[in-house]
Amino acid sequence: MSAAGAPRRHRRDEQERVYRRRRLVALALAVVALVLLVRGCSAVVGGGGGEEASEAAPVPELPRGGRLVLPRHRVVAYYGAPQDPELGILGETPPEEAARKLARRVDDYARPGRPVLPALELISTLAQSAPGDDGLHRLRQSDETIRRHLRAARAIKGLLVLDVQPGQADFVEEVRALEPYLAQPDVGLALDPEWSVPEGTQPGSVIGSTDAELVNEVSAYLARLVRLRDLPQKLLIVHQFTDEMITNRDRLASRPEVALVVNMDGFGTAELKQGVYDRLSLPTVRGPDTLGGPYNGFKLFFREDTGLMSPRDVLALRPAPDVVVYE
């Protein structure tokens, strides 16, 4: 072989190696394309039963399953705040201990076809006699306090209900401040009109009130939150023990995203409590157009009630309460 032929042969060998590499790459790409095509067809034919379905985010549910609070469940709650034992059982014991006690009590309220969903109702905005730095006569619980009660509720597969006593603050502003918690699937809300007073009035010196229009504004806000974040139904409790505490009550709106409960909040003898409940309770109507309520609630006081009513006594009320709260 001549010296001039050696470079030409070297170039041919190099070209053949390049061609072989290109063919191998092309073959590999063809195999990948075939695999992707097969997977795509499987996803279409299988209706989401493959790998894609397993990676999809789960739909948020309530702590004990499902997405409907009421009327699927009966809710039984312990109420209070850690600042003082006079504020309820959540002021008498740490939330973890209160949650364990509640978990033992709820079975007394379970009935066939209607399981119980336990809840801790924490006063997250606490009305104060002192004006405070902003003059609004209210104290907001710290994030750590709220998170601790949420952990305790989750330990028993229950809800946390954040109760708002606004003092002279605006109800809606106090509710919106709680959105980081309300955006979670196991957190509900309660409004306490007794502690909503006008400017210049000290909370506790008079019985406060609110109007159905404001309650409807709050429930509309919760309903939007449920739709935007695909959350389970939200529990919304409004406390009442006088006719004037919720004005224009017949205008309360029913929204399927929100389980609205009017909770009879008075204390005394069993006879007195039943009389107030008979006057303030709402007729029980069940159907697709009334999924959001309003429903009925009933409150029991460990300290103030004369002769604490038993679960059997409470469930003998007509209509039987959908929510039972212990303070």
Tokens 């309003």 belong to residue: 294
DSSP labels, 98-117: HHHHHHHHGGGG-BTTB-EE
Task: Write the pLDDT tens digit of every residue in 223-248.
Answer: 999 999 999 999 999 999 999 999 99
Query: Residue 284, SS3?
Result: coil
Give Cα separations from 142 to 123, 145, 249 (angstroms).
11, 5, 33
pTM above 0.85, yes or no: no
Report the sign of the C-alpha dihedral through residues 127, 128, 131, 134, in that order.
negative
Domain ranges of the chain: 5-55, 74-326
CA 109 → CA 17, 104, 156, 278, 307, distances in Å? 80, 11, 16, 20, 19
- Tens of pLDDT along 258-311? 999 999 988 999 999 999 999 999 987 666 666 898 999 999 999 999 999 999
Distance, CA of 99 to CA of 159 (rounded, Å) = 11
- Average pLDDT score over residue span 19-45: 42
Q: Are strands 74-80 and 116-127 parallel, antiparallel or unpaired?
A: parallel
CATH architecture of 74-326: Alpha-Beta Barrel (3.20)
* CA end-to-end distance (rounded Å), the chain: 106
> Over the stretch 61-93, which tens digit does the pLDDT of each residue have?
999 999 999 999 999 999 999 999 999 999 999
DSSP state of 306: B
Judged against a pLDDT cut of 70, whether residue 128 lies above it is answered with yes
